[in-house]
């Protein structure tokens, strides 16, 4: 699948999900509004019936207008023309609500004409036995006449719980969207991994092809019978074959190293080491000094660590090698050590091309290589820094990077000291 096709699929999928989600929200809202309107009609009908029975029992004339007034989405007041008995009111409310299948908890209060406030109320749950509880005093409606108020404190939650199929369909939709997004994420991740591995194979082919071509050319020259008459040329081509064979061996070792990294089977052999000596060995035992100006500022007083000498020297070498490879000028590298909180800190500062912030989060990932415009400008497989991070963490240490594009990079390594 091409990148353009994948983008089109993602855009269409996003539009489809947004459309389905918007439609679901619209119809859920419609269903909720219908349920709320039905609830309000049922409550109004029940309260009208309660008012009629109270007026009938007290033999009081009915009000001229509709006795029920809805003051808010969950608060109703009912006007009656006489005193109200609390026990009778609660009984009638429960009876009428039950007839209309209204199962929401409610609170009621009766207006006290003398003290001009709502009092004598109760919190009632139709699903449980009625018990007196402390509840918020209901607001008064007006300061004259006889009336009672009914409030449904959790009416929205009750309505949502009654929506049944709509709630279920919304949950199913959320699950479908989640798995779709997760699948899309996996596809993009696999595509990215495929591109990285493809880049790795291209780099590996290039790295193997160069020494093999050199060996093939040198071998064809050695087949010439006359070359035995020129020992210098014979030795020269034999040396070339030896050097290229060694280079090829190193490339194979890197690929095998990758396999060990996959299994995380490094097999460290830790011994007490002097970290300064390892740094000096990494610089001395390589050709780095001829390619760069390397300045050592080894100022740490405590330098003893438990480490695998071979792997830790390789870590320092890889960081120095990267500082040289990713540099458009004459490389200048500073190595500085210091002690901090029972550890030793090594900072490797260079004057290279620097690393963009978006690349800094990825440079320790396996196979990842910082883009340089040409895939073969900088040799390597993209394994160096992932190896470095794995080795440092295996030594219970930590590695970080700070860099700015065009102003070089600084890698900081912290390793625990040997406890005295």
Burial class (CB in 10 A: 0-12, 13-18, 19+), 108: buried
111 plus 27 within the same structural domain: yes
- pLDDT at residue 394, as a whole number: 87
Q: What are phi and psi of 266, to 5 degrees?
A: -90, -35
410 confidence band (pLDDT: 50, 70, 90): very high
304 plus 406 within the same structural domain: yes
Residue 376: closest CA among 200, 217, 225, 253: 200
256 plus 279 within the same structural domain: no
**Angle at Cα 271 formed by Cα 266 and Cα 272, nearest 5°?**
140
Q: What is the mean pLDDT of the chain?
A: 81
Domain boundary among 161, 178, 210: 161
Q: Is the pLDDT of residue 326 over 50?
A: yes
Burial class (CB in 10 A: 0-12, 13-18, 19+), 73: exposed
Instruction: State the Cα–Cα distance between residues 175 and 161, nearest whole angstrom.
Output: 19
225 plus 286 within the same structural domain: no
126 plus 209 within the same structural domain: no
- Domain-located, residue 176: no
* Range 402-415 average pLDDT: 91
- pLDDT at residue 158, as a whole number: 73
- pLDDT at residue 347, as a whole number: 95
235 plus 259 within the same structural domain: yes
24 plus 60 within the same structural domain: yes
Positive or negative torsion for Cα 291, 292, 293, 294: negative
- Domain-located, residue 42: yes
- pLDDT at residue 375, as a whole number: 41
Residue 359: closest CA among 325, 404, 317: 404
Instruction: State the Cα–Cα distance between residues 298 and 279, nearest whole angstrom.
Output: 9
Instruction: State the Cα–Cα distance between residues 87 and 384, nearest whole angstrom.
Output: 83
Find where tokens 């890197």 sit.
254
- What residues have CB less than 8 Å from 163, skipping those under 6 apart? 28, 31, 32, 35
- pLDDT at residue 127, as a whole number: 67
105 plus 233 within the same structural domain: no
Find where tokens 């540099």 sit.
327
- What residues have CB less than 8 Å from 376, skipping those under 6 apart? 203, 206
Give the model confidence (pLDDT) of 171-192 as tens digits: 888 888 888 888 888 888 887 7
- Domain-located, residue 252: yes
- pLDDT at residue 274, as a whole number: 94
Please count the structural domains in the chain.
3
* Range 243-271 average pLDDT: 72
Of all residues in the chain, the percent with pLDDT exceeding 70 is: 83
Name 403's bridge partners.
Answer: 409
Domain boundary among 263, 283, 310: 263
Residue 303: closest CA among 344, 268, 263: 344
74 plus 21 within the same structural domain: yes
- Domain-located, residue 173: no
- Domain-located, residue 171: no
- pLDDT at residue 304, as a whole number: 94
Name the packing angle between helices 309-325 and 384-394 (round to 10°).
150
Instruction: State the Cα–Cα distance between residues 340 and 272, nearest whole angstrom.
Output: 19
Most confident of 125-129, 222-226, 271-275, 391-395: 271-275
Find where tokens 């060995």 sit.
281
Instruction: State the Cα–Cα distance between residues 200 and 176, nearest whole angstrom.
Output: 36
- Domain-located, residue 118: yes
Residue 324: closest CA among 285, 303, 351: 351
Q: Looking at residue 354, which CATH number applies to its domain?
A: 3.30.565.10
* Range 75-98 average pLDDT: 87
Q: What are phi and psi of 344, to 5 degrees?
A: -115, 135
44 plus 155 within the same structural domain: yes
- Measured CA to CA in angstroms, residue 122 lies from 115, 130, 139, 372, 411 at distances of 18, 8, 14, 76, 70
Return the higher-pLDDT residue of 403 and 2.
403
Q: Is the pLDDT of residue 373 over 60?
A: no
11 plus 85 within the same structural domain: yes
256 plus 302 within the same structural domain: no
254 confidence band (pLDDT: 50, 70, 90): low
Output the six-digit token pair for 274: 């002097």
**Burial letters for 292-319: b for 16+ Cβ neighbours within 10 Å, e otherwise?**
bebeeeeebeebebbbbeebbbbbbbbb
- Domain-located, residue 186: no
- pLDDT at residue 120, as a whole number: 67
Q: Is the pLDDT of residue 412 over 90?
A: yes
Range of the structural domain that residue 236 is part of: 193-263
* Range 21-25 average pLDDT: 85
């Amino acid at each position: 699948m091409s990148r353009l096709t994948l983008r089109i699929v993602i855009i269409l999928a996003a539009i489809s999900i947004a459309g389905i989600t918007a439609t679901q929200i619209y119809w859920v809202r419609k269903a909720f509004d219908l349920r709320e309107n039905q609830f309000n009609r049922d409550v109004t009908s029940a309260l009208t019936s309660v008012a009629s029975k109270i007026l009938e029992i007290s033999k009081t004339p009915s009000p001229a207008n509709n006795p029920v007034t809805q003051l808010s989405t969950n608060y109703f007041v009912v006007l009656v023309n006489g005193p109200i008995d609390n026990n009778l009111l609660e009984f009638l409310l429960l009876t009428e609500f039950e007839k209309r299948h209204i199962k929401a908890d409610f609170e009621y209060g009766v207006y006290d004409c003398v003290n001009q406030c709502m009092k004598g109320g109760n919190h009632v749950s139709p699903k449980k036995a009625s018990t007196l509880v402390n509840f918020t005093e209901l607001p008064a409606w007006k300061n004259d006449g006889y009336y009672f108020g009914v409030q449904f404190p959790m009416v929205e939650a009750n309505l949502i719980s009654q929506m049944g199929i709509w709630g279920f369909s919304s949950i199913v939709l959320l699950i479908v969207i989640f798995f779709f997004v997760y699948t899309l994420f996996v596809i993009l991740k696999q595509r990215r991994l495929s591109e990285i591995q493809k880049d790795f194979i291209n780099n590996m082919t290039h790295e193997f092809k160069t020494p093999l071509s050199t060996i093939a050319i040198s071998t064809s020259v050695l087949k010439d019978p006359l070359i035995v008459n020129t020992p210098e040329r014979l030795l020269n081509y034999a040396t070339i074959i030896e050097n290229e064979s060694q280079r090829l061996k190193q490339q194979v070792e890197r690929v095998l190293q990758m396999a060990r990294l996959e299994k995380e089977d490094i097999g460290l052999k830790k011994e007490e080491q002097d970290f300064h000596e390892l740094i000096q060995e990494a610089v001395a035992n390589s050709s780095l000094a001829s390619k760069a100006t390397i300045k050592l500022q080894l100022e740490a007083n405590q330098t003893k660590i438990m480490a695998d000498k071979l792997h830790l020297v390789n870590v320092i070498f890889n960081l120095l090698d990267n500082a040289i490879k990713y540099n458009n000028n004459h490389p200048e590298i500073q190595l500085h050590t210091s002690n901090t909180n029972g550890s030793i800190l090594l900072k490797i500062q260079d004057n290279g091309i620097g690393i963009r912030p978006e690349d800094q989060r990825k440079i320790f990932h396996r196979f990842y290589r910082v883009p340089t415009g040409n895939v073969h400008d900088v040799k390597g497989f993209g394994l160096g820094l992932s190896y470095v991070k794995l080795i440092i963490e295996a030594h219970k240490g930590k590695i970080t990077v700070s860099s700015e594009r065009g102003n070089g990079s600084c890698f900081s390594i912290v390793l625990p000291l040997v406890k005295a």
